[in-house]
Amino acid sequence: MIRALFARHAQLMCFALIGVANTLVHGAILVVAVEWVALGVTVAHLLAFCVANIFSYLMNSWLTFKAALSPGRYARFFLASLLSLGLTLLLAWMSELYGLHYLLGFILIVVVVPLLSFAVMKFWTFAHVGEARSLR
């Protein structure tokens, strides 16, 4: 049953696992930048976001969507990442506005943002990947 579920949703599962790895990359860069390089927290987060975003693009291109790397696709990937960040902040703000416990808002973010991010990546950022091969 689990094998069948994974097979049916392999792309989404791969995307999710890369998301977990990406979070670990972000955290590691953040800690190194703050503790060893003595950067301010905001600058360290910016650096960590940039490194993690490139890592995520590379891994999702190679493993999830099996797409060739390209500057145009990375630009779309980066914009989709900013959209996800904006949605995260919007949901956090709305949760606070409506008096929800912050952890309930966090759960909402953890469920909604990755699913919408996957849809944007699949149908916009990585749209048309592999179509030329399937037409032959």
- Total-model pTM: 0.84
Per-residue pLDDT of the chain (136 residues; tens, 9 = 90+): 667 766 778 999 999 999 999 999 999 999 999 999 999 999 999 999 999 999 999 999 999 999 999 999 999 999 999 999 999 999 999 999 999 998 899 999 999 999 999 999 999 999 977 654 443 3
Residue type, 93: W
Q: Read off the tokens for 2.
A: 């689990």
**What tokens were used for 110?**
């953890």
Compute how many other C-beta atoms are within 10 angstroms of the C-beta atom of residue 129: 15
CA distance 29 to 134: 40
In order of 38, 76, 117, the CA distances from 120 in angstroms are 36, 10, 5
In terms of Cβ atoms closer than 10 Å to its own Cβ (0-12, 13-18, 19+), residue 78 is: middle
